[in-house]
């Protein structure tokens, strides 16, 4: 994966849309997403074989369009399907364990909210950071108060040089603000997955990123 792959980073699980998950991903790719993370968490989330089966279907779509496929949190699943990357939170598996278990070519992303978390992740070899929430969001049931785009600027000023993806409440109206603050890309969930026109929604967000 390259830094450019992180530009429009779409995250989705089966409970983030009322439509067919595979169809939504295909439409999002046609709209211009550059990366996809399979995040199967929350109320009604799939598990076991059902989760694995959906992961493979979504991965197949990504592979056919040369879009990186990332798994959220589930190391066993990421290894089983040979995902392009894995993303974990601060309360998930330690980065040192991840680097020991995952192949060198598997991208590792870490969620960070504070300066200390960002510095620790960078020092320990994370490939990129997911920083947020940028704005208020209803997607995550345990979402914390937003830290705002200015937090990205502070991280850059403090010497965080690895790629940063802003996440949380990002849509067409505020994506440029996140990029201007120092992000290399934005993560989007509901602004795409719950849109009436998936492809058009993805294109609208990407247009804001392309002309930053």
Is 119 annotated to bind a ligand? Reply is no
Active site residue 119: no
Do 165 and 130 meet the contact criterion of CB atoms below 8 Å apart?
Answer: yes
Catalytic residue, candidates 3, 99, 101, 140: 140
Least Cα distance to 87 among 177, 156, 159, 185 occurs for 185
Assigned token pair, 17: 């849309």
Cα–Cα distance measured from residue 30 to residue 211, given in angstroms and rounded to the nearest whole number: 19
Catalytic residue, candidates 111, 187, 193, 199: 111
Is 2 annotated to bind a ligand? Reply is no
Beta-strand relationship, 128-131 and 164-166:
parallel
Cα–Cα distance measured from residue 89 to residue 72, given in angstroms and rounded to the nearest whole number: 9
Active site residue 14: no
Cα–Cα distance measured from residue 189 to residue 195, given in angstroms and rounded to the nearest whole number: 10
Is 139 annotated to bind a ligand? Reply is yes
Phi-psi region of 14 (alpha: psi -120 to 50; beta: other; left: phi over 0): alpha
Is 82 annotated to bind a ligand? Reply is no
Is 193 annotated to bind a ligand? Reply is no
Is 29 annotated to bind a ligand? Reply is no
Least Cα distance to 11 among 122, 115, 166 occurs for 166
Catalytic residue, candidates 39, 113, 176, 206: 39
Is 164 annotated to bind a ligand? Reply is no
Cα–Cα distance measured from residue 176 to residue 96, given in angstroms and rounded to the nearest whole number: 34
Is 74 annotated to bind a ligand? Reply is no
Active site residue 140: yes
Cα–Cα distance measured from residue 178 to residue 185, given in angstroms and rounded to the nearest whole number: 8
Is 140 annotated to bind a ligand? Reply is yes
Is 138 annotated to bind a ligand? Reply is yes
Is 37 annotated to bind a ligand? Reply is yes
Sequence ranges of the binding site: 37-41, 72-73, 92, 111, 137-140, 169, 189-190
Q: Which residues are annotated as a binding site for Mg(2+)?
A: 73, 92
Catalytic residue ranges: 39, 111, 140
């Amino acid at each position: 994966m390259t830094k450019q792959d992180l530009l429009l980073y779409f995250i989705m699980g089966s409970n983030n849309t009322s439509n067919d998950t595979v169809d939504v991903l295909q439409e999002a790719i046609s709209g211009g997403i550059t990366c996809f993370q399979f995040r199967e968490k929350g109320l009604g989330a799939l598990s076991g074989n059902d989760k694995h089966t959906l992961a493979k279907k979504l991965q197949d779509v990504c592979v056919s369009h040369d879009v990186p496929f990332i798994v959220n949190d589930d190391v066993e699943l990421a290894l089983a399907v040979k995902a392009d990357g894995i993303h974990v939170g601060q309360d998930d598996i330690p980065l040192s364990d991840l680097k020991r278990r995952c192949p060198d070519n598997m991208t590792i992303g870490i969620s960070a909210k504070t300066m200390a978390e960002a510095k620790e992740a960078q020092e320990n070899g994370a490939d990129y950071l997911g920083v947020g929430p940028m704005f208020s969001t209803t997607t995550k049931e345990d979402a914390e108060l937003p830290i705002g785009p200015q937090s990205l600027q502070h991280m850059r000023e403090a010497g965080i040089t690895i790629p940063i993806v802003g996440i949380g409440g990002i849509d067409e109206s505020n994506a440029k603000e996140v990029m201007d603050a120092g992000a290399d890309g934005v993560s989007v969930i509901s602004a795409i997955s719950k849109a009436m026109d998936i492809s058009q929604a993805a294109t609208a967000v990407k247009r804001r990123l392309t002309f930053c």
